[in-house]
Amino acid sequence: MSIFLYNTSCKDDFANVNTDQATITSGNPSFLFAQAILEFKPQDYLYWFYNASEIFQWVQTGVSTGGVTSTLADGAPAQNFKSIDVLKYANELKYVRSLMDEEEGAKYAQYSAALDILTIYMGIYDTDFTGDIPYTEAAQGAHGGTLTPKYDRVESLYNLWLGNLDEDIQVLTTATNQVFLGAQDIVYGGDTDKWARLANSLKLKIAARLINKDRAKALQIATAVVNSPVGVISNESQDFLFNKATSTTADNDYVYNWNNAVLQTVGGSITMVDFLIDNLDPRVRFIFQKNHWNSKVVQLFFDAEREDDVPHFIMDNVNYEIDADGIYQFVSWKGVGEPWVRYYGLPLEFNAGQQAGLYGDWFNYTVRSRYNENHIYRPYSMFQTEMLYGRIDFSYPIIPGDPAIRDTEDVPWWGMYMTSAEVNLYLAEFALLGASLPESAAAYYNRAVEASVKNYDRLAENNMIPYYGTTYGGYDPHEKAIDLKAGEIEAMMANPQYQLSGNTASDLEKVYLQQIVHFTLQPIDQYTTARRSGVPVIGSDLFPRKTYTQVPTSAIPRRMALNQPSPTDLMYDLLIQSYQEQGLSVGSGKILNSERIWQDEGSPQWGEGPNL
């Protein structure tokens, strides 16, 4: 999407949407609140289609199926502002309340507070992508506001949002005689205490973005958050993790998130997948897909005397015998076995996709892993897209002549937005950076990693991803389901790479790596974490960042690309002014690294590691 389309959409958002009453469901406060939650979608289809695949490659958690090339520095397009999707309902609710007498309007204060929290959440993502955004004057055109809202500076928005969240907490915890219907609240069922916890927790998201701009303020925010009587998100029942609808009579995007495919050309990186496998991290099974090489496929190639065509990294995990006729016979998987041996990443070497002699097992698999025209077996792991949307069919890998095994059930989609895992990872970070907190960094960290694994397991179960709870009728006798099993978290946490050691630099790297892993389903947050932390670190023993002479780290984008807006755009002058004030140029190239948005100024370069 070009910036022209982006700006045209802004014009539509700030003009047409704000003057068309048909875009508002109803003047009823409860209906406005419910509809705003349905419209809440911080990372929509276009984010996942255009931006996520690039982000994963910049952070090195993913690799293009064509390999790493010079396109790594090309950048990705900015998307539409998402905060307006909820802001228009929040402003409409404010207007509707203003038409009521004071006592009646006051009954809906908690609805307004909850919508403000959702809008701030969306606004943080918008500013992560593009810096300054229209906010304080936006989405008010229907009731006399401007059609050309000013661009607010990121710094002023952070201050505004911190103050607003405090006010929201006050309303949610003290307001009386309120109308807050549980049936209209698909997030927390009308539990205002949980909304208040979300508001308090959300301040940590802002504090994390201030860590290289105003560390003292960031740590002060963290201290105030943990000392607040409101509390933070601290368990599964308080997690901001929900699904919007289960009825197929509703809008399909509300039920399934969307229909179209994303992440079709990006697999997990070797660094990412191996880091998880080496530490027996169950999240590898929920973030990535099993490859196609089950034991029956391996035996298929053995029977055809094509053992040399089995990808070498798969063959390394096979125990086999050779019978009297010289035919290889699959005996078992080596080491930890299924399901772990079904996950492999793509190499991060530059231009590996063009080097069939060295990397053909991965990038030339359609030739090397082809049994016949209809049976080609992918040896590496793609992202698990059923964690992203619910209308997708799965075909189990079978050998020629066997009946097809398919899962075609459409499953209502569950999304994860903010959980106790994220909260505790921030607190672990702030504790290491010197915040005065009641618990140690290790206590927050251990709690966070355990919660993250459970978050992913819960999502995998609710979204009914492939292999969860099933081995598909025992087609492959060696197949194992991917469900989280008793003792797995303890085994994972016993690994030294998952334990804090007391060395601040090393421990910070581990905390940031866990944030990056946890944010795989929130790539904007993964991107922001990698930018502000300098993790993955070049030369690290944990999760080393690979460098390229052809595309140095100073050329890898740290913001989205902006194109020249059209002079006929209603927002043209304001856009140009905003670019100038932020010191941002249109176009791509190294400017996407050197010209940084406000919160990224002063952050370490890719791979340099945290500012201590």
Residues 247-282: tens digit of each pLDDT: 766 678 899 999 899 999 999 999 999 999 999 999
Query: 30 in a domain, yes or no?
Result: no
Query: 495 in a domain, yes or no?
Result: yes
Give the single-character DSSP code of 50. I
- Domain span at residue 376 reads 233-524
Flag whether pLDDT at 588 surpasses 80: yes
Tokens of residue 32, six digits: 């406005």
Residue 562 CA to residue 217 CA, distance in Å, equals 31
* CB within 8 Å of 543: residues ≥ 6 apart: 271, 272, 275, 513, 535, 536, 537
Flag whether pLDDT at 475 surpasses 70: yes
Query: 220 in a domain, yes or no?
Result: no
pLDDT at 259: 87
Query: 94 in a domain, yes or no?
Result: no
Residue 314 CA to residue 381 CA, distance in Å, equals 12
Query: 498 in a domain, yes or no?
Result: yes
Tell me how long the chain is. Answer: 612
Residue-averaged pLDDT of the chain:
94
Residue 52 CA to residue 530 CA, distance in Å, equals 14
Cβ neighbour number for residue 39 with a 10 Å cutoff: 18
Flag whether pLDDT at 473 surpasses 60: yes
Confidence band of 421 (pLDDT split at 50, 70, 90): very high
Query: 112 in a domain, yes or no?
Result: no
Model confidence over 19-32: pLDDT tens digits? 444 444 457 999 99
Query: 466 in a domain, yes or no?
Result: yes
Confidence band of 13 (pLDDT split at 50, 70, 90): very low
Give the single-character DSSP code of 403. P
Contact status, residue 30 vs residue 112, Cβ threshold 8 Å: no
Total count of domains within the chain: 1
Query: 167 in a domain, yes or no?
Result: no
Q: How many CA atoms lie within 13 A of 13 on its CB side?
A: 25
Residue 438 CA to residue 449 CA, distance in Å, equals 19
